Homo-oligomer: A and B are copies of this chain.
Amino acid sequence: MAKHVVSGSKRTVRAVNAATLARLREAGLRPTRQRLALAALLFDGHPHGRHVSAEALFGEVRAAGAKVSLATVYNTLHQFTAAGLLRELVVDPGTSLFDTNVGDHHHLYFEDSGDLRDVDADRIEIKGLPATPKGAEVARVDVIVRLRRRS
């Protein structure tokens, strides 16, 4: 896959994924060192998407050696979400997860293990929903199937 070099920074910097770079530019977000590091962790080499909390991503990015503050992780996750690069979801009260799969899909949540799996929306049909009121539109439909070990 093609790599580019980001110019304009003081010490010219490691190669980045071209698609990631393009994604940021399209979203009107400057491709800063921090955003690139976070985007790499979020989007590179995860063909099936991932679900990540702010704290977990913060851990990863620092483990990867990048200097990024927790505030920036939060800022970036929200900016990516606003730009349509991520989707925020809550399966357990208390913390948000960010989903790199922004296609129309739903979730299977294994309460015991905490495992969360995507289910393509086009495999699913939901009938009987009330008519969307005039002047409103459906922003999104979230389906979470919660599974537990059979008793």
B151 touches A137 (CB 8 A): yes
The count of residues in chain A whose C-beta lies closer than 8 Å to any C-beta of chain B is 35
Q: Does A14 contact B (CB under 8 A)?
A: no
Q: Does A9 contact B (CB under 8 A)?
A: no
Q: Does A124 contact B (CB under 8 A)?
A: yes
What does the 1/0 interface line of A86-106 toward B look like (CB < 8 Å)?
A: 001010010010000000000
Copies in the assembly, this chain? 2
A125: B residues at CB distance < 8 A: 125-128
Q: Does A28 contact B (CB under 8 A)?
A: no
A129 touches B151 (CB 8 A): no
A18: B residues at CB distance < 8 A: none
